């Protein structure tokens, strides 16, 4: 428990440190072009939109009026800021050079912002006095005090709505009150957008951690059995989970997974609907403005979910280490979060498209609109190209297109913001966060590849169906990603494979917990004299249980006791000819990863055609799910085919436990694979190894016998075909329900070590 707690504590510290660094990077991002000052943070969190509001209200109340330098437009249906219909256009350069505009604005600020300090007025005048200048940076021709002095005296005439503004004039109270309510409403809504985006990210990260913490603290076995049976283990409906739905339309989540997905969707739905009311009574939010607010809200939430989706998809996701939830589960959450992200982006784009349907040619002439549309097209293309049908049949094509389209979309989102707002409002920080997660994770991958270096793998053909890949000089457990640069010009392509063993010595293979406790299931050399008595105890206990094993499974292959080591001699020699010095010399452990791979079309077929090739190895963290139950008193492994690789280290580690029962039920079509794996060399006081070649185990019968032979908690590990894994899941749910009805104690827990598309 201590190493696990330390690992979790370290992982939490790593997340906090990474978040702090990302905030620093986001906050100090340097703006490019236009010469404007880069804003730090998000609106409401470091960026104060429309501050000071009284000055912005003056500007927005005056800006819709026609100036001497305004130009008449042929089309009168362009809606100006504030809802006015207008036949003229005023450019940023016109605002900057028109004395009447500057003088009227200066006197409005002087009259209505009497509590505003001079430095705040000067800052506003320098950066925000020109209305609608996101794409053009203009400097006002008059300073604030110059504009006041040039007007000579305070104006006493109010400006009229349809007249040309000539000279300094007063802003009517109703116009200023309306503008003031508008800017405060805009600021509050935009602050809410930032707040809700932060909530989305936090609610995607914190609940898994809290759920894990609560489950580790809960001591009620009945409560755990109820939650596992009713929520965690059963599929949403029917009996399929890893087995795809008809026509490969997708995979069905479990009820627990769907509960978390539903929570995310409901949270985003709720955050999209509220917080649009106006401030004060001088101005009310009309339907069009509410649609604009809603479009902006879902746009920000889409950006937040983009960062979450990328985090969930990363191989080095810290949440996997902190929570112990499987990487497969987070991939499922990645897909659903991505669907939500695309849906929100579609709503954002669709609403703005509908609101500007009459001026689309003009909008598409603007860079931000065009690149935003292209980014949206890329998002939409990703959905059909990521369906299960494509992933299963054209995985390499899917992966390459997925990365390409995602990169183009993220870049498009950044420039969509930049061309519209530059770095004034911090919207780009959401893109920085998503990009930072992706880049850091890729750097971690590169660091792992660099650490392991280029290795020379040896390929051994076991039979027509399976091959063995041995990579010397690398130490890991669980699974690893292998790169074969010599097999394809796409050197970045890689594939995950379970590690069957991780240490090879000159004459023997054996299994034991690592001395440091980091890799408890790795293979280590066995040359200790202290193990002699233990080996005798194993052999005696095996003889005591052999009759029982035969009676339970008369048609199974009963594996005979052995010394506990699988001989891997470099040359054929009689044991009598090997002296003690040579034996001692040859038993030094050598780090070496062994993978058992089923031959398919494509890369694995090309692997079988060669005997040796260069390989890059990207190791993965050890599986916490197996580590957590390594010392439980009763573990049952239901395995199919090459799934034995996932539990080989577990079996080896538990073979040394004197008071624990470990039962293996392995069904395999290949007798050559059974011989190659050598599970017959594993013995122990509580190790019960049963293998069937060319036949399946009756999962319900096997688990029924295991659960009836001894009470208490039982851990069932399943690794193999999807159909078998789903059957084991159904049986465990039924067994737990039966135990609850009978009032029996103990819980049957499931550990699923299966690949999911």
pLDDT at residue 78 greater than cutoff 60: no
Distance between CA atoms of residues 100 and 91, nearest Å: 15
Type and span of the H or E element at 200:
helix 173-217
Cβ-proximal residues to 61 (8 Å cutoff; 6+ apart), any chain: 108, 171, 172, 175, 176, 178, 179
More confident residue, 283 or 148: 148
pLDDT at residue 74 greater than cutoff 70: no
Q: What is the pLDDT of residue 530?
A: 30
Token pair belonging to 73: 């437009």
Q: What is the pLDDT of residue 46?
A: 92
Per the prediction, the chain carries an average pLDDT of 80
**Cα separations (Å) of 272 from 184, 205, 276, 333?**
20, 20, 10, 20
Q: What is the pLDDT of residue 711?
A: 73
707 C-beta neighbours (distance < 10 Å), count: 23
Whose tokens are 């069937």? That residue is 692
More confident residue, 525 or 64: 64
More confident residue, 313 or 622: 313
CA angle 256, 260, 263 (to 5 degrees): 135
Mean pLDDT of the 686-705 span: 91
* Percent of the chain topping pLDDT 70: 80
More confident residue, 93 or 26: 93
Question: With bands split at pLDDT 50, 70 and 90, how would you rate the model's confidence at 30?
Answer: very low
Mean pLDDT of the 499-504 span: 70
Report the predicted TM-score, pTM, of the whole model to 2 decimal places. 0.81
The 8 Å CB, 24+ separation contacts for 454-457 are: 454/614, 454/615, 454/616, 455/614, 455/615, 455/616, 455/617, 456/612, 456/613, 456/614, 456/615, 457/482, 457/612, 457/613, 457/614, 457/615
Cβ pair 253, 261 in contact under 8 A = yes
Q: What is the pLDDT of residue 502?
A: 65
The number of CA neighbours under 13 Å toward the Cβ of 704 is 10
pLDDT at residue 24 greater than cutoff 60: no
3-state helix, strand, coil in the chain (%, to 5): 55, 15, 35
pLDDT at residue 540 greater than cutoff 60: no
More confident residue, 69 or 285: 69
Question: With bands split at pLDDT 50, 70 and 90, how would you rate the model's confidence at 568?
Answer: very low
Token pair belonging to 298: 């879902």
**Cα separations (Å) of 673 from 183, 457, 597, 683?**
72, 19, 10, 19
Mean pLDDT of the 622-632 span: 76
Distance between CA atoms of residues 558 and 741, nearest Å: 35
Q: For 320-334, what is the HEC assignment?
A: HHHHCCCHHHHHHHH
* DSSP structure string for 47-101: E-TTSSHHHHHHHHHHTTSB-TT-EE-S---EEPTTS-EESEE--HHHHHH-HHH
pLDDT at residue 284 greater than cutoff 80: no
Pairing of strands 612-619, 479-483: antiparallel
pLDDT at residue 730 greater than cutoff 50: yes
- What are the φ/ψ torsions at residue 347 (nearest 5 degrees)? -60, -45
Cβ pair 190, 279 in contact under 8 A = no
Q: What is the pLDDT of residue 135?
A: 54
What is the separation, in whole angstroms, between the first and last Cα of the chain?
32
Cβ pair 268, 161 in contact under 8 A = no
Least confident of 32-41, 102-111, 187-196, 624-633: 32-41
Q: What is the pLDDT of residue 712?
A: 82
pLDDT at residue 285 greater than cutoff 60: yes
Distance between CA atoms of residues 296 and 316, nearest Å: 32
User: How many helices and strands, by DSSP H and E, does the chain display?
Assistant: 25, 21
Cβ pair 63, 183 in contact under 8 A = no
Distance between CA atoms of residues 142 and 150, nearest Å: 9
722 C-beta neighbours (distance < 10 Å), count: 18
Token pair belonging to 136: 């053009």
634 beta partners: 661
pLDDT at residue 705 greater than cutoff 50: yes
496 beta partners: 481
pLDDT at residue 752 greater than cutoff 70: yes
Distance between CA atoms of residues 726 and 252, nearest Å: 11
659 C-beta neighbours (distance < 10 Å), count: 8
Token pair belonging to 544: 């005591």
Distance between CA atoms of residues 701 and 245, nearest Å: 27
Distance between CA atoms of residues 676 and 612, nearest Å: 19
pLDDT at residue 722 greater than cutoff 60: yes
72 C-beta neighbours (distance < 10 Å), count: 10
In 3D, which of 44, 27, 376 has the Cα closest to residue 199? Answer: 44
440 C-beta neighbours (distance < 10 Å), count: 15
3-class DSSP assignment, residue 738: helix
**Cα separations (Å) of 137 from 33, 132, 720, 728?**
10, 10, 63, 66
Cα of 416 vs its chain's centroid, Å:
24
* DSSP structure string for 712-729: S-EEEEEES-HHHHHHHH
Question: With bands split at pLDDT 50, 70 and 90, how would you rate the model's confidence at 560?
Answer: very low
């Amino acid at each position: 428990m201590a190493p696990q707690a330390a690992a979790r504590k370290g992982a939490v510290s790593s997340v906090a440190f990474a978040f702090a660094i990302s905030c620093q990077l986001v906050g100090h991002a340097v703006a490019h072009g236009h010469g404007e000052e880069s804003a730090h943070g998000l609106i409401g969190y470091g960026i104060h939109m429309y501050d000071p509001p009284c000055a912005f209200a003056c500007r927005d109340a005056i800006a819709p009026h026609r100036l001497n330098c305004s130009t008449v437009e042929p089309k009168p249906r362009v809606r100006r800021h504030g809802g006015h219909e207008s036949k003229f256009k005023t450019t940023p350069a016109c605002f900057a050079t028109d004395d009447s505009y500057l003088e009227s604005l200066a006197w409005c600020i002087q009259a209505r912002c009497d509590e505003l300090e001079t430095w705040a007025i000067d800052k506003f005048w320098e950066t925000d006095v020109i209305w609608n200048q996101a794409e053009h940076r203009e400097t006002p021709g008059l300073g604030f005090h110059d504009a006041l002095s040039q007007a000579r005296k305070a104006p006493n005439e109010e400006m009229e709505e349809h007249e040309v503004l000539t000279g300094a004039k007063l802003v009517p109270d109703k116009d200023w009150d309306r503008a003031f309510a508008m800017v405060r409403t805009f600021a509050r809504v935009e602050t809410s957008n930032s707040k809700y985006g932060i909530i989305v990210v936090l609610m995607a990260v914190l609940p898994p951690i809290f759920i894990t913490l609560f489950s580790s603290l809960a001591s009620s076995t009945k409560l755990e059995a109820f939650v596992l049976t009713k929520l965690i283990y059963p599929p949403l409906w029917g009996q399929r989970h890893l087995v795809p739905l008809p026509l490969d339309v997708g995979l069905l989540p479990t009820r627990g997974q769907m509960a978390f997905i539903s929570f995310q969707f409901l949270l985003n739905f709720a955050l999209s609907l509220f917080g649009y009311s106006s401030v004060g009574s001088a101005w009310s939010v009309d339907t069009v403005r509410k649609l604009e607010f809603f479009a902006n809200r879902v746009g920000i939430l889409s950006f937040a979910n983009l960062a979450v989706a990328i985090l969930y998809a990363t191989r080095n996701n810290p949440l996997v280490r902190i929570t112990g939830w499987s990487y497969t589960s987070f991939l499922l959450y990645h897909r659903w979060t991505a669907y939500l992200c695309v849906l929100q982006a579609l709503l954002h784009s669709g609403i703005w498209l509908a609101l500007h349907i009459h001026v689309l040619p003009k909008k598409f002439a603007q860079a931000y609109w065009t690149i935003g549309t292209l980014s949206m097209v890329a998002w939409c293309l990703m959905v059909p190209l990521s369906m299960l049908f494509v992933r299963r049949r054209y995985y390499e094509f899917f992966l390459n297109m997925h990365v390409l389209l995602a990169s183009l979309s993220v870049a498009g989102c950044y420039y969509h913001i930049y061309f519209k707002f530059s770095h004034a409002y911090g919207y780009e920080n959401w893109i920085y966060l998503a990009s930072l997660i992706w880049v850091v994770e890729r750097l971690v991958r590169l660091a792992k590849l660099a650490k392991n270096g280029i290795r020379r793998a040896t390929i051994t053909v076991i039979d027509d169906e399976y091959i063995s890949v041995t990579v010397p000089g690398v130490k890991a457990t669980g699974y690893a990603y292998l790169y074969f640069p010599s097999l394809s010009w796409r050197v970045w392509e890689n594939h995950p494979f379970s590690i069957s063993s991780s240490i090879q010595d000159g004459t023997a293979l054996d299994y034991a917990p690592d001395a440091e406790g980091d890799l408890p299931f790795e293979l280590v050399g066995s040359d200790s004299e202290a193990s002699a008595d233990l080996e005798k105890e194993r052999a005696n206990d095996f003889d005591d249980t052999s009759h029982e094993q035969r009676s339970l499974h008369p048609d199974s292959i009963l594996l005979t006791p052995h010394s506990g080591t699988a001989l891997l001699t470099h040359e054929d020699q009689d044991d009598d000819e090997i002296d003690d010095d040579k034996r001692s010399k040859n038993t030094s452990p050598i780090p070496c990863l062994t993978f058992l791979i089923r031959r398919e079309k494509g890369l694995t077929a090309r692997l079988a055609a060669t005997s040796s090739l260069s390989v890059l190895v990207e190791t993965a963290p050890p599986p916490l799910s197996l580590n957590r139950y390594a010392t439980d008193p009763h573990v049952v492994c239901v395995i199919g085919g090459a799934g034995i690789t996932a539990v080989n280290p577990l079996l080896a580690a538990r073979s040394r436990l004197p008071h624990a029962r470990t039962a293996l039920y392995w069904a395999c079509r290949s007798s050559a694979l059974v011989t190659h794996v050598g599970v017959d060399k594993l013995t122990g006081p509580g190790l019960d190894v049963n293998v069937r070649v060319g036949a399946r185990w009756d999962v319900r019968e096997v688990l029924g016998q295991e659960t009836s032979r001894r009470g208490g908690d039982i851990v069932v590990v399943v690794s193999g075909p999807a159909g078998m894994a789903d059957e084991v899941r159904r049986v465990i749910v039924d067994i737990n329900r039966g135990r609850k009805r009978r009032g029996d104690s103990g819980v049957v827990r499931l550990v699923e070590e299966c690949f999911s598309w």
